[in-house]
Structure 1
């Protein structure tokens, strides 16, 4: 009998602790928050405003998965954005998705590696993780996966591209869609390349430009 009572009391205590934990998680959802986000913030449904997101504040392990979400509008006014673009090397940063933003992003700087976005983003640069929607950058876009429409002045680079990329330089390891620019390249492409120089190691589609090269042949004007 005593054992049963102890078991019942243990279950009640565990349920009480879990309820308190769930309450704390609800309290960590905010309407307005400053960036970089506090590591105790789980979600923002509304507005984030500040200097931007930085993984060093919240990511402690290489295997850390998605930690924080923003649903709404994100505005970044980082005056050092141009320096980040000049000095930041995305290849040296860990490939960990730690923030997902759903909505509109307007930034005087840009995303660093580890940030995913669903919606519209306008910024100086974009070094994010996975982008779904429309991305416009003044300088460069360098992302893991892109699904949608991407416009950049200097270059668009992605490991996986599903959609359209427009820039002076377009590069994708895997491309499913259209590349439009001065120099277009991909390793495995299905779709179309339109530019001055088009290059693909393996292409199932069409190339239109001054010089076109794929795994089968090299031709001026039109290649397939």
Structure 2
């Protein structure tokens, strides 16, 4: 009897391990179409539909293709920011912790969203109505928004009619109001601010600068 019980326990334990390994292997298998939040999807070669992953339970994903975000907050946020904030207060919080890349979504291709609220590295083209809010955002390529572009790290071209705000920028900002403390490149707009100077119409900096001051 004891032998049977022991054998049954061993078989059950082996089955659980096999199931766990199967789920892990399945999560690593690239999907053509996937959704976020999801605990069982890590790689997508196609389309990822995003809503919003809570930070405490966020599972980073790698997308080769298209990331689409449908958080409806992206529709209402631009008017609220426009009427409640003045340009001098359009800042990024310096308390944000720089996340390692393996803890962020990686999108190689196109990010198309109402708003992005997941920590994301975009390598390619980013088009967001409200850009990146309440998350650490890195873009290598081009970012376009009909309202605001908010990035902690930007390398490439950032275009928005109202404002481009960044912490570390390398490239070009084009908008009515452009601001980045650690900036190298050219700013074109109504008012431009970087770590060296503030100028209307066009501003620039191509030298390494100190970044210990708050944005």
TM-score range, shorter chain: 0.5 to 0.7
The yes-or-no answer on 1:38 pairing with 2:38 is yes
- Does residue 134 in structure 1 map to residue 139 in structure 2? no
Q: Name the SS for the 2:56 alignment partner.
A: coil
Match of 2:61 in 1: 68
* 1:124 to partner: Cα distance: 0.7
- 1:166 aligns to 2:164 (yes or no): no
Corresponding residue to 1:83 among 68, 76, 88: 76
| Cα distance change, pair 141–31 in 1 and its aligned pair in 2 (3 A) | same
- Give the gaps of 5 or more residues in structure 2: 1-16, 82-90, 208-215
Q: 2:67, 2:39 → 1: CA distance?
A: 17
Q: Structure 1 unaligned runs (5+)?
A: 1-16, 206-224
- Residues 118-133 of structure 1 correspond to what in structure 2 (within 5 A)? 118-127=123-132, 129-133=137-141
Q: Deviations over 1:36-90 (max 9, x none)?
A: 33133212111123xx34241xx328xx8x8322211123344442224456896
Give, in whole Å, the separation in 1 of the partners of 2:45 and 2:95.
28
Deviation readout 1:5-38 (Å, 9 max, x if unpaired): xxxxxxxxxxxx6x9766533311322012x331
Residue 170 (structure 1) shift: 0.3
Shift, 1:160, TM fit = 0.5
Change (3 A) 1:121 1:21: same
Q: Distance in 1 between matches of 2:32 and 2:95?
A: 30
- Which one is further off, 150-159 or 19-28? 19-28
Q: Is the helix fraction higher in 1 or 2?
A: 2
Q: Which residue of 2 aligns with 1:104?
A: 110
Aligned length: 176
Q: Is the 1:114–1:129 Cα contact (8 Å) retained in structure 2?
A: yes
1:104 deviates by 1.0
Higher relative contact order (CA 8 A, sep 6+): 2
TM-score (norm 1): 0.64
